[in-house]
Structure 1
């Protein structure tokens, strides 16, 4: 097992070399996370997540990595998610077909039994990952589309029109912008409304629990962002009665030059059909252009079945970059493979 908090400098060097090789094999187009950022991130314990990690060595070098996690009882999501164990792994191409992946099954079964989890959840966008999970009997339950927007090709006049149209269609609705961080006095409300909206997302056939955000979990996340100077920008639409009807937010890491992550965009069911989603997304893109003019690419993820949001993204200029599939495997079936 790899213990980030107590790993030696030699172990970290071996791990970072593996990360570089994995990055080149798996996603060379993605931004690179510097060694010190990855190291500090893994060393900081998360009170809401129990995380486990294993490294496989071949001739003194790391050839594969497996990580697995589940919610702790401190998490507000624990009760509805405690039956799930989430896993993620990668075997370098030169070390494949040597039984490394199959050798992880007893580890995962033991961990599921330890935590009382009955369902393993794994996602992949790599064909070798699909083949491996299918061989294990994994069921594809959810498809996620990652799309990217090239800022050099954006129709900024269209975005300005969308903002104008949004204001015209909902003259009593106000846009609220929060730059870098939500102020403390807004965090409880944001957490409560985002929890409600996040749980309206389509999850297709995925067995899942509730998504729950609280002021405490938001503050914990902000503490992690503070480690690296990462920025969280949020736009809200507020109705005349004071309620939040929609939101969109993005994440900017200073070590990812030219790259911004679109996080969540959601509109309350009672406010849909008024173009609020288009208004919010257009306003955010104009904001990012102003405060991060060096931006070249923005990424976003959506359920493959979320037709309305995918249509908005296509109109903005987002293009499909890759598709991931989430598989789920039962404990009983996995145990039979040990």
Structure 2
């Protein structure tokens, strides 16, 4: 068997980066929807400067052909004990040591950076295993949290949402809902920072070694600027409490260059403000806004832990259906 060569990629090396992207696309065709981004979207996103961490892209080649691809994400602003690893192997080259060699390369790089815990996600059909879930288990990655990947069909689901509007209106009381596109309004920025900083402490994360993240106005503005520069549109649903402060948010993300598919970033209603159908109301607002801005968008994707009963109920009302499992896995290096 020809020698396996592992190379780090200069993001501006178009040929090698495209080979990396091709492997990821081939490895993702088994998923139940087109989860892999278009080439132009992936290229521009990878090349855009980041303020919150560093990404290392690696490719495995045999006889000049890319057979595996990997990505290492190093958190720099918070959770600096963590690194996120992702490995893809072309289906024609699995079970030949490619994935293991790439993973060992990433684990060594993370260790040199002082990271003590590695996290990743493995996708599998409902009730079944997949090459990814089996590989993660064999490599010593334990499941920290189970999630369900869900899709809602934007071409059919909105027709059934009128009754949900009535339910939200009846429960709002002194609360109100707002929508923003691309940028959180300046007058809402400090409240939004508090919401994002509280997020990891409020959503189910199972046994994952995640710690509180601190968000500042500058961090949010930097992220917004990067998203806009790469063509990503962010739609924010905001819940305003009777005292005028934000008490909840939900966001949906979509790329102008590939508007077929949108995804939910996160949803949170602070304790003490629940029971007013704010989560449902914010999601109706963001999903309708995406549908209005991008009528060609076929579906929105989201992921929820199985134990998150409240959000699962909201998504069921909206018309989401489970299409696969997502296993959030981790490995402690020391």
* TM-score, with length taken from structure 1: 0.87
Deviation of residue 310 (structure 1)? Answer: 0.8
Q: Which residue of 1 aligns with 2:173?
A: 171
8 Å contact from structure 2 (residues 60, 66) kept in 1: yes
Unmatched 5+ residue regions in structure 2? 1-6, 125-129
Which of 12, 24, 34 is the matching residue for 2:17? 12
Deviation of residue 171 (structure 1)? Answer: 2.7
Q: Which residue of 2 aligns with 1:36?
A: 40
Deviation of residue 251 (structure 1)? Answer: 1.3
1:71 aligns with 2:69: no
Q: Secondary structure of the residue that 1:251 maps to in structure 2?
A: strand
Q: Which residue of 1 aligns with 2:195?
A: 193
Matches within 5 A, 1:84-99: 84-99=82-97
Looking at structure 1, the residues matched to 40 and 172 of structure 2 have their Cα atoms a distance apart, in angstroms, of 46
Q: Secondary structure of the residue that 1:211 maps to in structure 2?
A: coil
8 Å contact from structure 2 (residues 174, 241) kept in 1: yes
Q: Secondary structure of the residue that 1:145 maps to in structure 2?
A: strand
8 Å contact from structure 1 (residues 32, 256) kept in 2: no
Deviation of residue 139 (structure 1)? Answer: 1.4
Q: Which residue of 2 aligns with 1:161?
A: 163
Q: CA, structure 1 residues 302+93, in 2 after alignment: closer, same or farther (shift >3 Å)? A: same
Deviation of residue 63 (structure 1)? Answer: 0.5
Greater strand content: 2
Q: CA, structure 1 residues 34+287, in 2 after alignment: closer, same or farther (shift >3 Å)? A: closer
1:49 aligns with 2:53: yes
Q: Secondary structure of the residue that 1:17 maps to in structure 2?
A: helix
Looking at structure 1, the residues matched to 286 and 41 of structure 2 have their Cα atoms a distance apart, in angstroms, of 27
Looking at structure 1, the residues matched to 290 and 167 of structure 2 have their Cα atoms a distance apart, in angstroms, of 20
Q: CA, structure 1 residues 107+12, in 2 after alignment: closer, same or farther (shift >3 Å)? A: closer
8 Å contact from structure 2 (residues 189, 217) kept in 1: yes
Looking at structure 2, the residues matched to 69 and 306 of structure 1 have their Cα atoms a distance apart, in angstroms, of 27
Deviation of residue 117 (structure 1)? Answer: 1.7
1:2 aligns with 2:5: no
Q: CA, structure 1 residues 49+167, in 2 after alignment: closer, same or farther (shift >3 Å)? A: same
Looking at structure 2, the residues matched to 121 and 52 of structure 1 have their Cα atoms a distance apart, in angstroms, of 15
Q: CA, structure 1 residues 47+274, in 2 after alignment: closer, same or farther (shift >3 Å)? A: closer
Q: Which residue of 2 aligns with 1:110?
A: 108
Range that drifts further, 305-314 or 126-135: 126-135
Q: Which residue of 1 aligns with 2:233?
A: 231
Q: Which residue of 2 aligns with 1:123?
A: 121
Q: CA, structure 1 residues 3+47, in 2 after alignment: closer, same or farther (shift >3 Å)? A: farther
Instruction: Give the alignment's Cα RMSD to 1 decimal.
Output: 2.2
Q: Which residue of 1 aligns with 2:280?
A: 278
Deviation of residue 87 (structure 1)? Answer: 0.5
8 Å contact from structure 1 (residues 197, 267) kept in 2: no
Looking at structure 1, the residues matched to 137 and 63 of structure 2 have their Cα atoms a distance apart, in angstroms, of 30
Q: CA, structure 1 residues 172+142, in 2 after alignment: closer, same or farther (shift >3 Å)? A: same
Q: Secondary structure of the residue that 1:279 maps to in structure 2?
A: helix
Q: Secondary structure of the residue that 1:269 maps to in structure 2?
A: coil
8 Å contact from structure 1 (residues 163, 283) kept in 2: no
1:133 aligns with 2:160: no
Looking at structure 1, the residues matched to 245 and 41 of structure 2 have their Cα atoms a distance apart, in angstroms, of 38
Q: Secondary structure of the residue that 1:53 maps to in structure 2?
A: strand
Deviation of residue 105 (structure 1)? Answer: 4.7
Q: Which residue of 1 aligns with 2:4?
A: none
Looking at structure 1, the residues matched to 89 and 172 of structure 2 have their Cα atoms a distance apart, in angstroms, of 52
8 Å contact from structure 1 (residues 153, 317) kept in 2: no
